[in-house]
Amino acid sequence: MEPSGQGANDHSQNSVGDGEHPWEVTDMTRLRRFICYGSEMAIYDTKEHRLGMESALALLSLLQEGRGCEVVAEVKRLALEGRPVRANPSLFALAVCSQHLDLNTRQGAFRALSDVCRAPEHLFTFIQYKKEAKERMRCGIWGRALRKAVSDWYNKQDAMSLALAVTKYKTREGWSHQDLLRLSHAKPANEAIMLISKYVIKGWKEVQVAYADKENSEEVIKVLSYLEAVEKVKHSADEMEVSHLVEEHRLEREQLLTDHLKSKAVWKALLKEMPMASVLRTLGKMTADQVLEPGSSDVAEVCERIQSEAALKKAKLHPFSVLTASENYKRGQGNRGKVKWEPDVDIIKALDSAFYKCFTNVEPAGKRFMVAVDVSTSLSSIVKGTSVSTAVAAAAMAMVFARTEAETQVMAYSEGAIVPCTITEGMSLRQVATELVKIPSGYTDCALPILWASEKRITVDMFIIFTNSACWHGEANPAECLRMYRHKMGVFSKLMVCGLTSNGLSIADPAEDRGMLDLCGFDLGAIEVIRNLALDLI
């Protein structure tokens, strides 16, 4: 989503006027970083860290300045736009705002609860953050405002969606739906919500007695039927009965018992309505459990679905998501090595096809990008937390930008050498990777792409540099080079350095410049962080 008033290729926000300092890091900048990825620093780490007051100093500063309503509005806006790559920072910020001394801030936080807590696990996490903060203050949390906010959250849910939620996401962070409904003294808004509340608090037997002789509405009958199916599954050891209930009521994996998941028939029933992302995550297990046997009709159906353009578009899968699933599947074992399988050739081909089809799912940012790939010896490892090699990951992201952004220059660089790379739409991932390594490897020099663009007077809105963990930059400091480039070209260019295997980079200037950011590792969240920085949202 583009900021209001800007076209897909409007570069006006990147122009630097006399006396302007668009790179200044303010408390609001730090707040947006925190909401987006859980840190006020200019570093995104794929490893999520525990949140605390010490990691949200800008949030506390804004509250002390009396800007609590602005904070709540920003948390809500970013949540509605889908900008945060992690849910917990928004929940933490909202929890802190909900107990601030300012009445308007507290009221605003509670009003925003339903917009920010999209799923039950979000609500549980929000409550836990409040509890942890209140424990330090030695007072309770269940005041009238929180009780009303939680009650409203349940009452705003669609009945069937809530029935799924209370049977799929039962507990999180030490809280359960039973806890929340009891402590909030929730007053159900309609008969269907009342039925679900009774089921959670009193249990299925009480529900059966209460609704056995009543003349129920169509919605209540539907909820009753669904909950009855959930209860039957809990007590059934008959795999055919479980399979039938899964298909008829579209039950999900989390609603079943562990023993049920040892059955091929149950897995096949789950597979029919399983979301695409879940299908990709469980391909290995289904192959290991022989649910997907080579040459079977089940494999053919899965392959057809994986390659379906309509299904891929509906799932909104990014090419990197499919690439990660493909590389994980090719590895032939789970992350811990306990589950092992022989990768199916047809599934591998289907994943390869899906990778290229997902490029249409990428929404262009409409900026002028330079994607520079470090081809030194450092680019020969595995991306942290994945099975994807750093060379393949860099090539894949170069393809993403080359195919989806109209103004993209792809470069390969090493010590003392930098060359443009031609990436056409018809090129395969292997061909792109080959194109990127056509210069000899050497030491990493992350300043080269900026120096080259400055020398050639090429206007770039954002430099994206892919390297391993090395951040050595030769004689020229990349941050200083970027500042000189901005001054020379009259444009507020940004710099994103992606350390694909790094546990910590030190190129960005976190204190002084909001146009620089480092990535430690690489995942789908990193892709959204890149987009947010490009669109000037963090």
How confident is the model over 461-488, as pLDDT tens digits? Answer: 999 999 887 555 566 788 889 999 999 9
Mean pLDDT lowest among 16-20, 48-52, 366-370, 509-513: 16-20
**pLDDT score, position 156:** 94
Type and span of the H or E element at 418: strand 417-421
Q: How far does CA 499 lie from the centroid of its chain?
A: 19
- CA quadruple 295, 317, 428, 310: dihedral sign: positive
**pLDDT score, position 386:** 81
Would you say 8 and 61 are in contact if contact means Cβ atoms under 8 Å apart? Answer: no
The arithmetic mean of pLDDT across residues 257-284, rounded, is 93
Would you say 332 and 343 are in contact if contact means Cβ atoms under 8 Å apart? Answer: yes
Would you say 388 and 452 are in contact if contact means Cβ atoms under 8 Å apart? Answer: no
pLDDT above 90 (res 500):
no
Residues with Cβ within 8 Å of 81's Cβ and at least 6 positions away in sequence, in order, are 1
**pLDDT score, position 507:** 65
**pLDDT score, position 226:** 96
**pLDDT score, position 69:** 96
Mean pLDDT of the chain: 88
The arithmetic mean of pLDDT across residues 244-251, rounded, is 96
The pairing of strands 516-520 and 494-499 is parallel
pLDDT above 60 (res 12):
no
Collapsing DSSP states into helix, strand and coil, what is residue 496?
Answer: strand
pLDDT above 90 (res 341):
yes
**pLDDT score, position 139:** 54
Long-range contacts of 160-166 (CB under 8 A, 24+ apart): 160/222, 160/223, 160/226, 162/193, 162/196, 163/196, 163/223, 163/226, 163/227, 164/226, 164/252, 165/119, 165/120, 166/120, 166/196, 166/199, 166/200
pLDDT band at 192, cuts 50/70/90?
A: very high
d(CA 534, CA 538): 9
CA quadruple 370, 437, 333, 336: dihedral, nearest 10: -60
Residue with the two structure tokens 């493909």: 326
Looking at residue 519, what DSSP letter applies? E
The arithmetic mean of pLDDT across residues 423-438, rounded, is 87
CA 232 vs CA 212, 245, 257: distances in Å: 17, 8, 11
pLDDT above 50 (res 17):
no
**Bigger pLDDT: 265 or 141?**
265
Q: pLDDT tens, 79-115?
A: 999 899 999 999 999 999 998 999 999 999 999 999 9
Q: pLDDT tens, 18-64?
A: 444 667 889 999 999 999 999 998 889 988 888 988 989 999 999 99
**Bigger pLDDT: 358 or 508?**
358
281: which 2 tokens?
Answer: 């995550």
pLDDT above 80 (res 505):
no
Residues with Cβ within 8 Å of 244's Cβ and at least 6 positions away in sequence, in order, are 269
Classify domain 363-535 at the CATH superfamily level.
von Willebrand factor, type A domain (3.40.50.410)
Which amino acid would we find at residue 259? D
The arithmetic mean of pLDDT across residues 326-342, rounded, is 87
Q: pLDDT tens, 193-235?
A: 999 999 999 999 999 999 888 888 999 999 999 999 999 999 9
Residue with the two structure tokens 């990436």: 423
Collapsing DSSP states into helix, strand and coil, what is residue 243?
Answer: helix
The alpha-helical segments, DSSP class H, found in 359-511 are: 390-404, 429-436, 448-456, 478-489
The pairing of strands 407-414 and 368-374 is parallel
484: which 2 tokens?
Answer: 């000189």
Would you say 390 and 500 are in contact if contact means Cβ atoms under 8 Å apart? Answer: yes
pLDDT above 50 (res 4):
no
Collapsing DSSP states into helix, strand and coil, what is residue 511?
Answer: coil
Would you say 384 and 500 are in contact if contact means Cβ atoms under 8 Å apart? Answer: yes
pLDDT above 80 (res 124):
yes
Residues with Cβ within 8 Å of 454's Cβ and at least 6 positions away in sequence, in order, are 481, 484, 485, 488, 489
pLDDT band at 440, cuts 50/70/90?
A: low
The pairing of strands 368-374 and 43-45 is unpaired
pLDDT above 70 (res 441):
no
Type and span of the H or E element at 371: strand 368-374
**pLDDT score, position 285:** 92
**What is the pTM for the complete model shown?**
0.88
304: which 2 tokens?
Answer: 């057809």
Q: What's the residue count for the chain? A: 538
d(CA 96, CA 133): 8
Q: pLDDT tens, 287-311?
A: 999 999 999 999 999 999 999 999 9
pLDDT above 50 (res 3):
no
The alpha-helical segments, DSSP class H, found in 85-217 are: 88-97, 103-111, 113-116, 120-137, 144-155, 159-168, 177-183, 191-202, 204-211
The arithmetic mean of pLDDT across residues 231-245, rounded, is 95
**Bigger pLDDT: 418 or 13?**
418
**Bigger pLDDT: 22 or 191?**
191
Q: Domain map of the chain by residue range?
A: 27-212, 274-360, 363-535
Would you say 384 and 335 are in contact if contact means Cβ atoms under 8 Å apart? Answer: no
Backbone angles phi, psi at 300, to 5 degrees: -60, -40
Residue 410, exposed/middle/buried by CB under 10 A (0-12, 13-18, 19+)?
A: buried
pLDDT above 70 (res 136):
no
190: which 2 tokens?
Answer: 């309609």
Looking at residue 494, what DSSP letter applies? E
d(CA 521, CA 386): 9
pLDDT above 50 (res 2):
no
Give the 3-state secondary structure percentages of the chain, helix then strand then coil, rounded to 5: 55, 10, 35
